[in-house]
Amino acid sequence: MADKCPLKQMTTQEVAEHNTNKSAWIIIGNKVFDVTKFLDEHPGGCEVLLEQAGQDGTEAFEDVGHSTDARQMRDEYLVGEIVEAFSIVCQ
């Protein structure tokens, strides 16, 4: 059985650049989803997704109470995971 490829690691700053209908990425639970191709198919309308594009939409996603099917569908758009950017301070 082959191992899954590791998810691409991204920062919130990278995701923030994808906030339009041409490129819409949303963070849900520290995972990054490219929902661009799903905008026109979303039952709640594309506006709902675009309001969260480029940012953390975890609370909005969970508040709706999505079904298991919706969660599985969401996972088809997984493109990465959020990592905290850090810097090394020299003294």
Q: Does some domain include residue 91? A: no
**Alpha-carbon span 69 to 15, nearest angstrom:** 25
Q: Does some domain include residue 23? A: yes
Encode pLDDT of 10-27 as tens digits: 999 999 999 999 999 999
Mapped onto helix, strand or coil, the DSSP state of residue 10 is strand
Whole domain around residue 61: which residue ranges?
A: 8-82
- Tokens representing residue 81 in the block: 């995971």
User: In total, how many domains does the chain have?
Assistant: 1
Q: Does some domain include residue 71? A: yes
Alpha helices in the chain (DSSP H): 12-16, 46-52, 58-64, 68-75
CATH code of the domain covering residue 55: 3.10.120.10
Measuring CA to CA, which residue among 84, 87, 90, 88 is closest to residue 27? 84
Q: Does some domain include residue 60? A: yes
Q: Does some domain include residue 1? A: no
Encode pLDDT of 59-82 as tens digits: 998 888 888 888 888 899 999 999
